[in-house]
Structure 1
Amino acid sequence: MVDYEVTVYTANRTAATTFNNVFIKLVGTSGESERKWLFNLKGASAFVRGAVASFTVSCPMSLGKLVLVELDKKPLLLFPEDSWFPAKVEVKSPDGDIYNFPVYRWISDSKVHRFREGTALKGFEDSHHLGRYSREQELKQRQKDYCWDVYVEGIPHCIKTDGPSSLPPEVRFSFTKQTEFLFTASTGLAELKLKGLVDNKTNWTNIDDIDRVFCCNIFLCDYKRMDGVKANTINDEKQYLMAPLVLLHKTPDDKLMPIAIQLKQKPAEDNPIFLPSDSEYDWLMAKIFVRSADFSEHQLNVHLLRTHLLAEVFAVSLLRNVPMVHPLHKLLIPHTRYTLQINFLARNRLISEEGVFTKFSASGGEGMITILRRSLSSVTYSSLCVPEDIAERGVKDVPNFYYRDDALRLWDTINRFVRGILTYYYKTDAEVQQDSELQKWILDIFEHGFLSQPCPGIPQKLTTVDELIKFVTMVIFTGSAQHAAVNSGQFDFGSWMPNTPISLQLPPPTKKGEATEETMLKTLPDVNTTVQGMATLWLLSQQSSDFAPLGQYSEDHFSEETPRQMMANFKKELAALSAAIKERNKTLEVPYTYLDPEEVENSVAI
C-alpha cells in the first residue's frame, strides 16, 4: 500500500463552511484511488470557513502523475444539503511530489466535481484521456450555465439570466458585497440627506441654492454622437440634448481652455458661436449645454459601452470557451469578478424602462439606444489600446493630462506582466494558431461583443503571440484601469449639478444677449431630477470593503513557480507606480488618484 497525504483548504469567506460528508478520488496516469470519505480528528470542523485539514488516502500502488481530483459531498441524515467553497486541494505523493488542485468554486449539490492539477495546459497539450474528457465536460456545462442574450439589437450581447440568484454561484457577489450594495438611488439619497427633495419637481430659483446642496469643475470635445438624438420627457416636460462642437486653446500658463462653442453641429443663423467675450450668461449657458452633452457621452459610450458591456463580453466568452486548466483562464478569471452581476443590476435598475437613467436623463430611453448603437459602430481596436488612442487623438503633449500619464504607465506595467505569462506558455506563433479554445474565445468576442461588424482592427482570430499579448493587455486594462478612470471620479466631478446636468429643460439660445440667470435656472433640471442623478453618481463611486486592487490575487490559480514569481513582480511594479503617483499628487492642488493602482479594482465590480 502507498499513502497520499491530502490537504483540503476551505476558503476564508462568509458561508464557505460545510457540515456534509466530503469525499475525494485521486486520478493519475497509472490509475485512480477508491472514493474516500475525508474524516479525521477534527470531525465536523474540518471544512469550516478558513479550515485546513489533512487526510490520508491509501492505494494498492502508485497512481503515477496525478491528473485530477474528484470531489463530492453528501448531507448527513436529517441534515440539509449546504454549500461549500473549497479553495484548493494539495496532495503529497509517496515519492514526495506536491500536486496542487485549484478549486475556488461553490459546491452546492451531491454531484461529482472534477478539478485539474494546477499546471496550466492548452488543449493540444492535454494528452491524458481523462484530462481531455474533464475539459470537454467542463466546457459543455459552462456553455449551459453561461448563455448569450440580446438585451437590445445593435449593442453588445450579455449573459442570459433571470436575476442574480440564477447566475452561477462562483460569479455572484460575495455575502459582504451583497449586504453592502443595494443598487438603488434611495441609498444615495439617504446618505446624502436628499430624501426630502426626491419628489420636488420644481425649478431651481437661485444658483446659491444649488451651492448649498452640492459642491465644481470642467473638461471637453466634439459630441457628434448626440446629433439628432431624440431627447427624453421628464416630469411630463420635453428635455433637450445638444451635439456641441468646442474649440479649446492651450494658454501660456499650460491650461486647456474653451475659446468657442457651437451648440449644434451645422452652422446656421440660429446656431451662433459663443465666445468667452460674450455676456456672462451667454457663455455660461453654452458651457452648461456642453457639459450636459458630456454627461451622456461619458455615461453611455465611455463608461457603459467601453467598459461595462465589453468587460461582460470578455468574461462570458472566457467562461464559455476556456477551461479552468487553461493558462488564459488562470490569467483572466480575477478580472471577471462580479462583472456579470453588476451588469445585470445596471440593466435592471439603471437603464431599464423604470431605471434611474431612463427616467431622469435627457438621453434616457430611445435616445440611449441610438447613442449606444452609434458608439459601437465607432469603436476601433486602437481606441481601446491607450498608447494608440493617445497618439491618434493628438493629446500626447496636452499639459496636466494626468489620465494620459498614469494610463500609459499602467498599460506598460500590465503589458509586461501579460507578456511574461503568455510567452511562458506560448513559445511560437503556431501554438497560438492551433489553440482552438483560444480561437473560440476571440471569435465569440468578435461575434457577440462587436456583432461581427467591421470595427477597424478588431481581431476575429489570433495568429501571433504578440497579437495575443496586445489583446489580453487590452482586456485587463479595460476591466480594471479604464473602468476606474471613467467611474471613480463621477461624484467628484458631477456632484455640483451645473457642472454635469443630467438633463436640460429649455432649448439652447438661438441669439446672443438673451440669456439671463432666470433662463439658466429654468433650463437646469428640476430638483428631483438633480438629486436622482447625484445619488446615482454617488452610488457608482463607492468602494466596497471587499474591493480587490489591481494585481492583488487572492486565489492561487497558477501552480508553476515562474508565473507565480511574475505575479509577485507585477505586484511590486504596481506598488512602485502607486508610490510615484502619490509623490506626484503631493504637488497638485487637486490630486489625480483614480489610476493609483491601490485605487484601481481588478474588475468591473461597481
Structure 2
Amino acid sequence: MAVYEIAVTTGDRLYSGTCDYIYVTLIGAEGQSERTLLDNDIRRGSSGCYSVEAPKPLGELLLLRVEKDPFFVLPEDEWFCTKIVVTTPNGEALLFPCHRWVSRGGDLELRGGPDYVAAHWQDDDFYGFQFLNGVNPNMIQLCSQLPPNFQVTDAMVKPFLQEGTSLEKEMKNGNIFFCDYKTLDGIQTRVYDGEQLVVATGFCLLYMNPENKLKPIAIQLLQQPAKENNIFLPSDSETDWLLAKMFIKNADSIHHQSINHLLNTHFVVHGCALATLRNLPLIHPLYKLLIPHFRQTLHINTLAQTRNMAARGLMSVPNFHYRDDGLELWGHIQSFAKAMVDRYYPSNDDLIRDSELQNWIKEIFTNTFLGNVHTEQLAKFITMVIFRASAQHAAVHYGQFDYSGWAPNNPLLMRKPPPSTKGVSTMETIFETLPNQRETVALESTFLTITTKFKDFVPLGSYPSEHFGEPAPLEIIKLFQERLASLGEKIAKRNAELPVPYPYLHPAQMENSISI
C-alpha cells in the first residue's frame, strides 16, 4: 500500500469555495489510484490536506485528475482551485498548478507543468518532443534535402545516427526533419543595456531514431555560412550544445508568439469577426453559427489555412498528438459546418441570392483572403474559422505556462548574442544570457495569467447564448457535441498512458473562442 498526501489550495476570490464533492485520481507511469473523495465543504482561501491510497507505488506521477460531483440536489457551485501539491511516499513534493474554475462534468487533468520541464529541459529527446507536441508544432518539416546555406555534412552527424547508415539514407527514409527560422532574418530587435539584441535565425536538424524519439543532431544559429557561424553538435561541450539549443528555442518562441499565435489565430479570426459584425444581421444563420466563436475576440487584441501535414512530410511521424487530435477535430468541425450550411443553403443558387452573405464574402475577399465560393467552399471556410478560434488557438496558447514557465526551456529573451566560437562557454555564460530574475518573474506571471481558465470559460461545442431555436440546427449541435465528447474520452484514455500527456486539444479543455 502506498499513501500519497494531497494539499489542496482554494482561491481567495469571491465564491471560490464549494459544497460539491471533490474527487481526485493520481495517474502514474506504473498505475493509478482509486477515485478518492477529498471533501464537500471547501472554503474560500482555505488549504486542506488529504490522503490518497494506491495498491502500490505509482512510479513517476504524470497526471492528477480532478472531478466535481453535485451535493444532493443543490444547484451548480463552481470551485476555484489554485494548486494541488502531492507528496509521494518517498517524500518528494510535486506541484500541480490549476488556477481555474472547476464545474460539474468539466473534469480536469493537471500535470506538473514547469516542474516536469525543469527536470527534463536539457534532455535531447524532450527537446525534440516539443517540436511536435509543445506550443509551436507548426515549424517542423521533413528534410529531403538540406538547404544550401545549412552547412552540415554527413561526417558531422554520422555519430548520432543509427550504426551503418548515413545522413543521405536517413533523409530518403523520411527520418530527418528540420526547422528553418529564416522568417526572423533581418527583423528589428530592441536595445538592451545599450546593445542591440541578436536573434538566432538559423536551422535545427533533427533525427527520428529507431526508438521513435526525435533528437536534435545539428544546429546552425545564423542563416548565412561564415567562419564564426559554427555548426553545433551533441558532441560539443555540454554548455556549447545547451547554449545553441537555447538560442534555437528563443527563435522558436519569437516565431511562435508573433506568427503562429498572434497572426495566425488572433488576427485571422479578428478579420472574420469584423466582417461578420458589419455585414450579417443577428438573425442570419451564419451570424448565429459564427458569433459564439468570436466571443471577446475583439476585446483582446491571406487565408492562412491549417498547414498541410502531408506537405510538411509529417503524416507518418509517430507520437505526433497535435496532428492526430487536430485532424480528428478538424473532421468533426467540418461535418458540423457542412451540416449547417446544407441546412440553410441547399444549393449554390441559394448562396448566391443571399445578398448579406455576398457582402460578407466581399469584405473578407477585399480586406483579407476569400474569393467567390460555393456551398462546399463556404463550409470549409467556416471550418477554418472555427478551428482557428478554438483548436488552433488552444494548441499554441494553453501550453505556454507548461513549457515557458521554466525560462531556460523556452526563453523569450536572450541578453547576449549567439556564440561565434566553440569551447569558451560555461554555465556562467548561460546565466548571463538568460533573462534576469525580474524579467523571469514577469514572464512567468504573464504566462500563468494568460493560460488560466476563468469562470466564464466556454468549451468548444457549447452555445449558452442559444442563438438557434429551430429543431434542425439544435439536432446538428447535439450531434457535434456527442462527437466531441467521444473524442475527449479517447484523448483522456491515451493521455493516461503517456509519459508526457497532450491535453491541449481535448474539446472540454479548449475555449469556443479566442477570449484571451
AA aligned opposite 1:460: G
Is residue 2:234 matched to residue 1:315? no
2:19 alignment partner in structure 1: none
Q: Are 1:573 and 2:486 an aligned pair?
A: no
Partner of 1:240: 198
Separation in 1, partners of 2:402, 2:289: 33
Distance 2:363 2:309 in 1: 28
| Aligned residue among 395, 398, 406 for 1:488 | 398
Report the counterpart of residue 557 of structure 1 in structure 2: 467
**Cα drift, residue 429 of structure 1:** 1.4
Quick check: 1:432–1:438 contact (8 Å CA) kept in 2?
yes
Distance in 2 (CA, whole Å) between partners of 1:278 and 1:516 is 12
Shift of 1:235: 4.8
* Contiguous gaps of at least 5 residues in structure 1: 1-191, 193-209, 344-378, 451-457
Distance 1:526 1:227 in 2: 25
- The amino acid of 1:524's aligned partner reads L
For the 8 Å contact 1:237–1:505, the answer to whether it is kept is no
Pick 1 or 2: higher relative contact order, CA cutoff 8 A, min separation 6: 1
Evaluate the alpha carbon distance shift between residue 437 and residue 486 of structure 1 in structure 2; reply closer, same or farther with a 3 A threshold: same
* Equivalent residue in structure 2 for 1:402, among 313, 321, 333: 321
Does the CA contact (< 8 Å) of 2:364 and 2:370 recur in 1? no
Query: Deviation of residue 568 (structure 1)?
Result: 0.7
Q: For residues 332 and 213 of structure 1, do their structure 2 counterparts lie closer, same or farther at Cα, with a shift above 3 Å needed?
A: closer
2:413 is equivalent to residue 506 of structure 1: no
Q: Which has the higher helix share?
A: 1
CA distance 1:233–1:561, shift in 2 (3 Å)? same
Secondary structure of 1:246 counterpart: strand
1:447 aligns with 2:366: yes
Cα separation, partners in 2 of 1:489 and 1:508, compared to 1, 3 Å: same
Q: What is the CA–CA distance in structure 2 between the aligned matches of 1:430 and 1:338, rounded to whole Å?
A: 34
Distance 2:115 2:390 in 1: 34
How many Å apart are 1:237 and its aligned residue?
A: 4.4
Name the residue aligned to 1:327: 285
AA aligned opposite 1:461? N
Counterpart Cα distance in 2 of 1:551 and 1:466: 21
Which residue of the partner structure matches residue 339 of structure 2? 420
Q: How many angstroms does 1:445 deviate by? A: 2.3
Aligned partner (choices 154, 179, 189) of residue 231 of structure 1: 189
Aligned equivalents of 2:207, 2:362: Cα separation in 1: 43
Q: State the partner residue of 2:377.
A: 467
Shift of 1:211: 8.7
Q: Which residue of 2 aligns with 1:300?
A: 258
Cα distance per residue 1:183-226 (max 9 Å; x no partner): xxxxxxxxx9xxxxxxxxxxxxxxxxx99997745334111111
Q: How does 1:144-159 map to 2 (within 5 A)?
A: none
2:351 maps to amino acid: V
CA distance in 1, matches of 2:388, 2:270: 11
- Tell me the matched-pair count: 353
- AA at the equivalent of 2:489: A
Q: Which residues in structure 2 correspond to 1:334-483 (within 5 Å)?
A: 334-343=292-301, 381=303, 384-385=305-306, 389-448=308-367, 450=368, 458-462=369-373, 464-483=374-393
Alpha carbons 2:228, 2:420 under 8 Å: kept = yes
Answer whether contact 1:502 1:530 (CA < 8 A) is retained. Answer: no
| Cα separation, 1, equivalents of 2:115 and 2:321 | 28
* Paired residues of 2:401 and 2:447 also in contact (CA < 8 A): yes
CA distance in 1, matches of 2:209, 2:286: 47
| Greater Cα shift, 323-332 or 516-525 | 516-525
Is contact 2:117-2:409 (8 Å) kept? no
Distance (Å, rounded) in 1 between the aligned partners of 2:116 and 2:345: 59
Counterpart of 2:159 in structure 1 is none
Aligned pair partner of 1:265 in 207, 223, 230: 223
Give the percent of matched residue pairs that are identical in Structure 1 and Structure 2.
45
Cα deviation, residue 545, structure 1: 1.0
1:587 aligned partner, one-letter code: E
Provide closer, same or farther for how the CA distance between residues 569 and 605 of structure 1 changes in structure 2, counting only shifts above 3 A. Answer: same
Q: Distance in 2 between matches of 1:255 and 1:398?
A: 10
Q: Please list the CA deviations of residues 89-123 of structure 1 after superposition, one character each: whole Å capped at 9, or x if unmatched.
A: xxxxxxxxxxxxxxxxxxxxxxxxxxxxxxxxxxx
Displacement after TM superposition at 1:562 (Å)? 1.0
- Is the 1:238–1:505 contact (alpha carbons within 8 Å) kept by the matching residues of 2? no
Shift of 1:460: 2.4
The answer on whether the counterparts of 1:246 and 1:260 sit within 8 Å (CA) in structure 2 is: yes
Can you give the 5+ residue segments of structure 2 that lack an aligned partner in the other structure? Answer: 1-96, 98-113, 132-178
Rate the CA distance shift 1:213–1:475 in 2: closer, same or farther, 3 A: closer
Shift of 1:340: 1.1
Give distance in 1, aligned partners of 2:464 and 2:397: 24
Q: Is the 8 A contact 1:288 1:499 kept in 2?
A: yes
Structure 1 distance, partners of 2:468, 2:359, is 22
Is the contact made by 1:240 and 1:503 (CA closer than 8 Å) also made in structure 2? no
Are the counterparts in 2 of residues 551 and 570 from structure 1 also a CA contact under 8 Å? yes
> What code does the residue aligned with 2:315 have?
K
Structure 1 stretch displaced more, 418-427 or 431-440: 431-440
User: CA offset at residue 327 of structure 1?
Assistant: 0.9
Quick check: 2:253–2:412 contact (8 Å CA) kept in 1? Answer: yes
Residue in 1 that maps onto 2:500: 590
**Cα deviations across residues 233-254 of structure 1 (Å, max 9, x unaligned)?**
2354432211021111101110
Residue identity in the other structure for 1:395: L
Deviations 1:14-50 (A, max 9, x none): xxxxxxxxxxxxxxxxxxxxxxxxxxxxxxxxxxxxx
Distance change (3 Å), C-alpha of 1:405 and 1:553: same
Q: Is the 8 A contact 2:117 2:403 kept in 1?
A: no
- Residue 434 of structure 1 aligns with an amino acid whose one-letter code is R
Residue 289 of structure 1: which of 243, 247, 272 is its match? 247
Distance 1:396 1:212, change over 3 A: closer
Decide whether the 8 Å contact of 1:384 with 1:478 is kept in 2. Answer: no
Q: Which runs of 4+ in 1 moved over 4 A?
A: 210-215
